[in-house]
C-alpha cells in the first residue's frame, strides 16, 4: 500500500484494508478520511491527484469553511455542513464564567454524538450515496477529522458490516495521528481543550447506544434516518469491498 501521509493534514488516512465480518476487505485507495484540507502543500495536492481523488466531502460548518476555504485542482469540493455545536456550548459556558469539569466536558461530547445520530442522519446518507454514485476515490473530512468525520466513518464501516471493535480501532487512531492546531482550537482551560480535541470510546459509544436504543439498531437506522435502502447498501458493498 502506498504511503498516504500528507504534510498539511495530519489525520488523513486510507480506510482500505479494514476487514468485515464476512472476511471481505475495504479496497485500498477508494475512501479516505481526513482533517481539513486547507493547509495542504502543493506536494500534498499533487499526491491527492496521484491517488485519483476527485471529490472532497466537507462536513465542516459554514463559518468553519469560510474561515479556511480551499480549492484543489481536479478535486471537486462537496459541502455537507454539520455545525460544531459542542464548541459553541463550551464557549457559552466560558463566557458565563463557568468552567466545565473533565466529566462535564466528556458529557458534552457525548451529547454531540447523540445529536449527530438524532439530527444528521440525512447528511450522512448523502455522503454514503455519494460514495456509491462516484466510482473514483473520494475523501471526507471536517476540521480535525475526528468527530463528524469519525461518525461518518463509523456509519460507512457499519454499512459494510465491519464489526464495532474494528470501527472503534479506526476511530481511536485519531489520538495518534491528529496534530492539534492552537490557532484553530481557540482559547480555554487545557483540561477542557484536551478533551475537545481528542477522541474517547465514550463519545462514539454514546452514538452507538442512541442508534441501538432509539432507532432499533444500525440496520434500521441506516434504512430509516440515513435513507440508505437495502439495494443501495448492497451497491456500496459491491463498490468498496473485495
- For 79-105, write each residue's pLDDT tens digit: 999 998 887 788 788 888 889 999 999
Q: Assess contact for 132 and 31: CB atoms under 8 A.
A: no
In 3D space, the residue among 64, 85, 29, 66 whose CA is nearest the CA of residue 142 turns out to be 64
Which residues belong to the active site?
142
CATH architecture label of 13-240: Alpha-Beta Complex (3.90)
Please, is 198 exposed, middle or buried when counting C-beta atoms within 10 Å of its C-beta (0-12, 13-18, 19+)? middle
What was the pLDDT predicted at 1? 47
pTM for this entry: 0.95
Hey, which residues does 34 pair with through a beta bridge? 141
Average pLDDT of span 64-73 = 95
What was the pLDDT predicted at 120? 98
What was the pLDDT predicted at 186? 65
Tell me the pLDDT of the chain averaged across its residues.
94
pLDDT in tens, 217-238: 999 999 999 999 999 999 999 9
pLDDT in tens, 19-53: 999 999 999 999 999 999 999 999 999 999 999 99
Q: What angle do CA 126, 128, 40 make, to 5 degrees?
A: 90
What was the pLDDT predicted at 180? 86
Judge whether residue 197 has pLDDT over 80: yes
Question: What phi and psi, each to the nearest 5 degrees, are found at residue 24?
Answer: -85, 150
What was the pLDDT predicted at 2? 55
Q: What angle do CA 227, 83, 78 make, to 5 degrees?
A: 60
In 3D space, the residue among 114, 89, 105 whose CA is nearest the CA of residue 192 turns out to be 105
Amino acid at each position: 500500500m502506498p504511503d498516504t501521509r500528507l504534510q498539511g493534514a495530519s489525520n488523513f488516512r486510507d480506510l482500505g484494508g479494514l476487514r468485515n465480518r464476512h472476511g471481505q476487505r475495504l479496497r485500498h485507495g477508494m475512501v479516505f478520511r481526513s482533517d481539513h484540507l486547507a493547509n495542504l502543500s502543493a506536494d500534498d495536492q499533487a499526491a491527492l491527484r496521484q491517488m485519483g481523488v476527485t471529490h472532497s466531502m466537507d462536513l465542516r460548518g459554514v463559518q468553519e469553511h469560510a474561515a479556511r476555504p480551499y480549492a484543489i485542482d481536479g478535486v471537486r469540493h462537496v459541502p455537507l455542513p454539520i455545525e460544531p455545536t459542542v464548541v459553541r456550548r463550551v464557549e457559552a459556558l466560558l463566557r458565563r464564567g463557568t468552567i466545565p469539569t473533565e466529566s462535564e466536558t466528556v458529557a458534552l461530547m457525548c451529547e454531540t454524538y447523540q445529536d449527530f445520530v438524532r439530527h444528521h442522519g440525512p447528511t450522512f446518507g448523502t455522503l454514503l450515496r455519494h460514495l456509491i454514485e462516484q466510482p473514483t476515490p473520494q475523501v471526507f473530512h471536517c476540521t480535525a477529522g475526528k468527530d463528524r468525520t469519525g461518525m461518518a466513518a463509523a456509519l460507512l464501516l457499519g454499512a459494510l458490516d465491519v464489526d464495532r471493535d474494528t470501527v472503534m480501532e479506526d476511530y481511536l487512531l485519531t489520538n495518534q495521528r491528529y496534530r492539534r492546531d492552537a490557532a484553530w482550537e481557540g482559547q480555554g482551560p487545557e483540561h477542557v481543550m484536551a478533551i475537545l480535541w481528542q477522541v474517547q470510546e465514550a463519545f462514539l459509544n454514546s452514538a452507538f447506544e442512541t442508534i441501538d436504543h432509539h432507532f432499533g439498531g444500525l440496520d434500521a437506522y441506516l434504512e430509516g434516518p440515513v435513507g440508505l435502502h437495502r439495494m443501495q447498501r448492497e451497491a456500496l458493498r459491491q463498490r468498496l469491498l473485495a
